[in-house]
Amino acid sequence: MRRLRFDVAYDGTDFHGWQVQPNLPTIQGLLETVIGQIEKGPVHVAGSGRTDAGVHAYAQVAAVSLENLIPPDNFRYAVNRLLPRSIRISNVREVQSDFHPRFDAQRKLYEYRIYRDEICPPFHRHFVYHHPYLLNEDAMVSAALLLEGEHDFTAFAAADENDSPTRSRVRCIFRSHLSRNGPQLIYQVCGSGFLKHMVRNIAGVLLQVGRGNLGENDILARLDPANKIAPGPTAPASGLFLMSVDYDAAKG
């Protein structure tokens, strides 16, 4: 048995997220179907995280264990030939048999894109959140910086049936930065890990800051472990991208 690690890029518009769901198209489900055809048997494809329905990825990291001795380059070619054009794999290589894309990840980088012009070009509509209304972008920039460091992000996380109630919701955010790039407002956040809907909830809260409904003290209140503030609002999935996942050189 050998372990193959690979990157997965996808347009998540027409998929119900990463994780397999009965009778619904998902990224993991399609990969397992296609790779199962190559392996001539059932396979399990592990991912670095469970992206939501409509969320996109430049480099989701995945791994699968196979009996098949197909070389990595041939594997890449065969899988891409069978996948829809909205999903592509790259950077296939053999790794240690115990490599796990999620549990071995050291940090992840997400990007949320807000399109600010009055008219959003139709070829951007699935890849941004179109918000042409008045925003105090300077206030949003300052508020984003408050999220850096180690905090309890319970007030930014949706309930997750896969998590134990006793599991820590403390995460370390290495970088939280918002800037303008032409007509787009780009929020980038890099952290040790992320909770369900965490980045979309952060984006939603930053938008409320931009609208003048929340201030920096409201951000700090949400980071207080004793707070009882309900998560949200949740920004739309279309603007969110998983950009990269980093590993220790010896593992990934």
Report yes or no: 75 and 88 within 8 Å, Cβ to Cβ: no
**Count of Cβ atoms closer than 10 Å to residue 10 Cβ:** 24
Of 191, 188, 190, the C-alpha closest to 239 is 188
Residue the block writes with tokens 């279309």? 238
| CA–CA gap between residue 245 and residue 191 (Å, rounded) | 10
Report yes or no: 76 and 88 within 8 Å, Cβ to Cβ: no
Q: Which is the catalytic residue, given 7, 11, 14, 52? A: 52
Report yes or no: 131 and 116 within 8 Å, Cβ to Cβ: yes
Q: Which residues pair with 47 in a beta bridge?
A: 62
Is 52 known to be catalytic?
yes
Please give the DSSP secondary-structure letter assigned to residue 72.
Answer: H
Report yes or no: 56 and 10 within 8 Å, Cβ to Cβ: yes
Write out the DSSP string of 2-64. EEEEEEEEE-GGGSS-SS-BTTB--HHHHHHHHHHHHHTS----EES--PPTT-EEEEEEEEE
Q: Measuring CA to CA, how many Å separate 9 from each of 147, 171, 184?
A: 28, 25, 21
3-state secondary structure of 93: strand
Question: Catalytic site residues?
Answer: 52
